[in-house]
Amino acid sequence: MIAVIRDPGLLRSVRPESIHLYLESRGWRPHLKVSEFGSVWHSVQNRSIELLVPDTAAIGDYASAQHELLVELARLSSSGDR
């Protein structure tokens, strides 16, 4: 069972650098800088799979962006894609 965090305060406390390190350790690499606020990452195993990753906590919807990222990672993990 995979639990997805929904608490906005907890989601805001996760630093973008920590997310980046986690993704890199799981075979993800940055592909395209979308703006100063986020970037697209690809799975090394399957480059057709993309994630939109927040690069700064200085955006109003950072908690929401983190939540969406976690939901997508959980979905990919349960489906076996990465």
pLDDT tens-place string over residues 13-31: 989 999 999 999 999 999 9
State if pTM tops 0.95. no
Does a structural domain hold residue 20? yes
Query: CA-CA distance, 40 to 19, in Å (whole number)?
Result: 13
Does a structural domain hold residue 3? no
SS (HEC) of 33-57: ECCCCEEEEEECCCCCCEEEEECCC
The domain total for the chain is 1
Does a structural domain hold residue 1? no
Query: CA-CA distance, 27 to 78, in Å (whole number)?
Result: 16
Per-residue pLDDT, 38: 94
DSSP 15: -
